[in-house]
Amino acid sequence: MRPGSIRGVEGNVSMNLRARHWRYGLLIGTAFVAGATLGPVLGTALAQDSTHTDMYRMLNVFGDVMQRVRAEYVDAVDDKELIENAINGALTGLDPHSSYMNAKAFKDMQIQTKGEFGGLGIEVSEDKGLIKVVSPIDDTPAAKAGIKPGDIITALDGKTLIGLSLNDAVDKMRGPPNSKIVLTVKRANVDKPLEVPLIRETIKIQVVKSRIEPNDIGYLRLSQFTEQADAGVKAAVKSMRAQNGGKLRGLILDLRNDPGGLLDQAVAVSSDFIDQGEIVSTRARHPEDSQRWDAKGDDILHGAPMVVLINGGSASASEIVSGALQDHRRAIVLGTRSFGKGSVQTVIPLPGNGAMRLTTARYYTPSGRSIQGLGITPDVPVHENREDRPSFGGEHEADYNKALSNQGGTGPQALPPRTDLPAIVKQIPDKPPEGFPKFDPAKPDETDFQLQQGLVLVQAMAAQKSASAN
């Protein structure tokens, strides 16, 4: 669409609007004679007409701006790029998660949901013009280099990201495998910017990892909700049970720093542990567009106790799963409050092989709690370290500029206090003791304090279950 064509259409519309104004003038005169009966009708009609007039006026301004940029900007401007930037600006101005994807960005997104793509392995978002890390993905260059949730990426190879859209920043971080890039990172409690050199890789996400912990407890790490998530969870539980002679007395489900992914995978993974009932619902602008998803499977753990680990990097699909398991009292949630991304983005293909990512609904847990902005509050709060890390610009969805409001839910107090927590919960500290070793991914059982407390809890739950069965 050429910029000039907007004005041509608007001219015809304006004539129709003037005709309607004349008719409304006659109706107003009639209303004085007939009394107040027509007041509400006229008010609605005039309000709608005023809204349309404002829209067409701003479209006229938009056309003027585009023409002026094309004619007078200091350098020649590519028309396609100009229009794409305008579309993206309109969408990103709505909330942090709506955006425009050109053909390349749309193709990259489709590849990523399949669990294999090129780059650094970072889930990022944009907040007030800053590129912020939601979470690094396990076993990727970013995770190995120590990139953390809440980090602000300020430059790439010494060139500032100020003024770049999120899509452009992501595009610059991607590149051919084995190519080098240096990220400049601002981190909370660190005075100077950090220079983090990375080498790009072909990212093949191993979304599920599992192992057997002492006392016949399974550990299952789910790093992202790609197309392989549900199948991977089922296979991991089956494999752990086989390795352990058919025994699996309990399970730790680790969703920390899991940025989410596909809704259908979140529903399927929840259904792996919940026999029946609601998993999640969405409420859209129009009631007829709202939806509900129920459990459709059997509990693959056969009722064995579960502990779910979450933190501020657990977002979206992770929050759906942890919220459903918490509401159904199927698991005890341990860790710190999750990110709070409770909004639904619908990807709508557009002409030219691009697409728009548009926020169309909010997520609600089975008890009716809105995840948006609030996240999931753990049943047992346990921090990963002793320091209260003040965030640089905020680490949760509610801290973001133009974040969607929390509406329509039953509130964070919808669930009554839990009465099924083992007595040992009162002995679980909310922070590591003085001198606790720094986290070492090669030694999780010795250095991962949240995991340690999760194992204490699930073992107590398993013992309680065995005692009640006897």
The yes-or-no answer to whether 116-204 and 208-469 have a common fold is no
Q: What is the pLDDT of residue 392?
A: 52
Whether pLDDT at 138 is above 80: yes
Binned at pLDDT 50, 70 and 90, residue 125 comes out as confident
The pLDDT of residue 459: 96
- Reading the block at residue 204, the tokens are 């093949």
> Which pTM does this prediction carry?
0.76
**Residue 156 to residue 160: CA distance in whole angstroms:** 7
**Confidence class of residue 468 from pLDDT cuts 50, 70 and 90?**
confident
Neighbours of 125 (CB within 10 A): 18
Which pLDDT score is estimated for 163? Answer: 82
Residues 22-41: tens digit of each pLDDT = 222 222 222 323 333 334 44
* Catalytic site residue from 125, 341, 343, 448: 341
Is pLDDT at 226 greater than 70 in this prediction?
A: yes
Query: For residue 83, what pLDDT is reported?
Result: 92
* Stretch among 144-153, 155-164, 396-405 having the lowest mean pLDDT: 396-405
User: What is the pLDDT of the chain when averaged over all its residues?
Assistant: 84
Is the pLDDT confidence value at 15 over 80? no
The percent of residues above 70 in pLDDT, for the chain, comes to 85
> Above pLDDT 90, what percent of the chain?
59
Tell which CATH architecture fits domain 208-469: Alpha-Beta Complex (3.90)
49-58, 327-336, 361-370, range with the lowest pLDDT? 49-58
Domain extents for the chain? 3-77, 116-204, 208-469
Active site residue 341: yes
Does 415 or 105 have the greater pLDDT score? 105
Predicted pLDDT of residue 55: 86
Residue 2 has pLDDT above 80, yes or no: no
Sole residue written with tokens 């940029």: 69
Q: How far apart are CA 144 and CA 155, in angstroms?
A: 19
| From 108, 258, 272, 327, active-site residue | 327
Would you state the pLDDT for residue 32?
28
Query: pLDDT at position 39, please?
Result: 46
Of 316, 318, 343, 370, which one is the catalytic site residue?
316
CATH of 116-204, picked from 1.20.120.1200, 3.40.50.150, 2.40.50.140, 2.30.42.10, is 2.30.42.10
pLDDT at 113: 67
pLDDT of 430: 94
Lowest mean pLDDT among 113-122, 136-145, 374-383, 411-420: 113-122
- Evaluate if residue 279 carries a pLDDT over 60: yes
The pLDDT value given to residue 13: 30
Q: Is 327 a catalytic residue?
A: yes
CA–CA–CA angle 321, 323, 329 (5° rounding): 105
Contact assessment for residue 66 and residue 86, using Cβ atoms and an 8 Å cutoff: yes
253 Cβ contact partners less than 8 Å away, ≥ 6 residues apart: 220, 222, 306, 307, 308, 309, 321, 325, 331
Instruction: Tell me the mean pLDDT in the region 456-460.
Output: 97
List, as one string, the DSSP characters of 415-442.
SPPPS---GGGGG--SSPPTTPPPP-TT
Helices first, then strands: H and E counts in the chain: 11, 19
Q: What does the alpha-carbon distance between residue 319 and residue 258 come to, in Å, rounded to a whole number?
A: 9
pLDDT, average across residues 196-200: 95
H helices present in 148-216, as ranges: 166-173
| pLDDT one-digit tens code per residue, 282-341 | 999 999 999 999 998 789 999 999 999 999 999 999 999 999 999 999 999 999 999 999
In a 3-state reduction of DSSP, which class is residue 338?
A: coil
Pick 175 or 279 by higher pLDDT. Answer: 279
- 179 in active site: no
